[in-house]
Structure 1
Amino acid sequence: MTTKLLTALLLGTSILGSAGMAYAQDATLNIESWRGDDLAIWKDKLIPAFEAKNPGIKVVFAPSAPTEYDAALGAKLAAGSAGDLITCRPFDKSLELFKKGNLADLSALPGMENFSPVAKSAWQTDDGKATFCVPMASVIHGFIYNKDAFDQLGIKVPETRDEFFAALDKIKADGTYIPMAMGTKDLWEAATMGYQNIGPNYWKGEDGRTALIKGEQKLT
C-alpha cells in the first residue's frame, strides 16, 4: 500500500471512515502514530470493529515513542517503509512532509466538506488550497492548579488574564509555593502550552505566524 493513501490526525481514527474504499483482499494497513497510550482501544475496540465490517483487511496499529516519532517516521519515509496511515503533527511538521510528497492532497476526499476551516487549518497549505490530513480529534489545553495553595492564600480561580497574573504574583510574594511550573524534558510541553496555547493570543495566531515567516515580525 502507498503511504499517500490517507493520513490522520492524533487518534488516527480516519481508518474507520475508509470502509468504502476499494482494497485488495487480504490487505494489511499499517498505522503510524505516537499515541502508544491508545494501543488498548485500537486493539480491543477500533480494529475489531473495522475488521468485522471489512473482511480481508487487516489493520496493524504500531505506535512509536512520542519523543522519537518524528525521527522514526522520517527515517521510514526515506526508506520507503512507512505505514499506510500516518498520524499527523499539526502545522509545519506535516506541511513539510506534504511538500516532500509524503502526504497526499485529500481536499477532494468524501467527507472533508464536513470539517470547518478552523478544523482543517493546521493541515493545509498556507493558501488553503490543499488539505493533506483528516481532522479526527482535538485537544483542550489548560493549567492544573493546587487547590490547597489557593485555599490557603485565599485565591479564587482566575477567569481573566489579569486575575491569572495577580494569582501568580500573590503566590510568588508568599514564597511557600512555586507560582507556575512547566516540564520541558519531553519538549512537547513547552511547544504545546507556549507556542500553541498561550502564544497565539499575543501574536494573533496565523497573522503573527505569516508575519514571522515574511520577516515582518520578530519572536521575542
Structure 2
Amino acid sequence: MLTTALIATGAAAQDVTLTIESWRNDDLSIWQDQIIPAFEAANPGIKVAFTPSAPAEYNAALNSKLDAGTAGDLITCRPFDASLALYDGGKLADLSDLAAMANFSDVAKSAWQTDDGAHTFCVPMASVIHGFIYNKTAFAELGIEVPATEADFFAALDKIKADGTYIPMAMGTNDQWEAATMGYNNIGPNYWKGE
C-alpha cells in the first residue's frame, strides 16, 4: 500500500508537457529562446514543446497527427473552412463557454465558428494585416500618388500597365500560400461577399 501511495505521489509531482502545433516554423527560435523560458519560469511544473511544421505542409501534417491521435495539445487553427472541417470531424472542442471568449468581438471569433455562429472552436490570438508593397521609383516616375481608395489602387495599376515600363502587380506563387492567403483568403472575399 505504501509503494502504491509513493508512486501516485511521484506521478502527481511530475511536470506536464504541453505540445503546440504550428505552421510558423520561422518563429521557432523566439519560442525556444524567449516565450517558452518566460512561460515555464512563471508556471513551474508546465513544460512547453513548440513543434512547428513547414507552412505548406502544416494542414496535411496536422490532419495526419489528428487522425493518428498524436497531435499536440494546442494547435494553430487556420481560419474558416479548414478548421471548421476539423471541428465538424470531432477533432476540435467547442470552446464557446470558455470565459476568455468574452474578451473577443464577434468579428474576431467569426473565422473560428460554425456558420451559424453557435459554436466557437478556436481562440483568436492574433490578427494579421496584409497589404501591397509598391515600387516608389515607379510611382515617382509615373506621377502616381499612393492609393487611398480601391478606385485609386485600380487607377494606379491601369496607369502602370498603360505605360508598359513596369509590371502593374506581381505575386510570387512558389510556396502557394501567398496566392491562397493574399488572393483567395484576403482579396477574393471582398468580391464574392463571403469567406
Instruction: Tell me, yes or no, if the aligned pair for 1:30 and 1:62 is still in contact at 8 Å.
Output: yes
Matches within 5 A, 1:23-172: 25-172=14-161
Rounded to whole Å, the distance in 1 between the matches of 2:169 and 2:122 is 35
Give the match for residue 5 of structure 2: none
The aligned length equals 184
Q: Secondary structure at the match of 1:37?
A: helix
Deviation at 1:24, TM superposition (A): 7.0
Give the match for residue 195 of structure 1: 184
Bigger mean CA deviation after superposition, 145-154 or 24-33: 24-33
Deviation at 1:99, TM superposition (A): 0.9
Rounded to whole Å, the distance in 2 between the matches of 1:82 and 1:57 is 18
Rounded to whole Å, the distance in 2 between the matches of 1:28 and 1:130 is 28
Runs of 4+ in 1 over 2 A off after TM superposition: none
Give the match for residue 16 of structure 1: none
Rounded to whole Å, the distance in 2 between the matches of 1:80 and 1:141 is 34
Rounded to whole Å, the distance in 2 between the matches of 1:89 and 1:173 is 38
Q: Which has the larger share of helix? A: 2
Instruction: Tell me, yes or no, if the aligned pair for 1:31 and 1:59 is still in contact at 8 Å.
Output: yes
Rounded to whole Å, the distance in 2 between the matches of 1:25 and 1:136 is 29
Rounded to whole Å, the distance in 2 between the matches of 1:133 and 1:63 is 18
Gaps in structure 1 of 5+ consecutive residues: 1-22, 210-220
Deviation at 1:93, TM superposition (A): 0.3
Deviation at 1:158, TM superposition (A): 1.0
Q: Secondary structure at the match of 1:150?
A: helix
The alignment-based identity, stated in percent, is: 77
| Cα pair distance change 1:24/1:33, threshold 3 Å | farther
Q: Kindly report the root-mean-square deviation, in angstroms, between the aligned alpha carbons of the 2 structures.
A: 1.4
TM-score by length of structure 1 reads: 0.80
TM-score by length of structure 2 reads: 0.90
| Cα pair distance change 1:101/1:24, threshold 3 Å | farther
Rounded to whole Å, the distance in 2 between the matches of 1:167 and 1:43 is 44
Instruction: Tell me, yes or no, if the aligned pair for 1:25 and 1:57 is still in contact at 8 Å.
Output: no
Rounded to whole Å, the distance in 2 between the matches of 1:24 and 1:139 is 39
Instruction: Tell me, yes or no, if the aligned pair for 1:95 and 1:125 is still in contact at 8 Å.
Output: yes
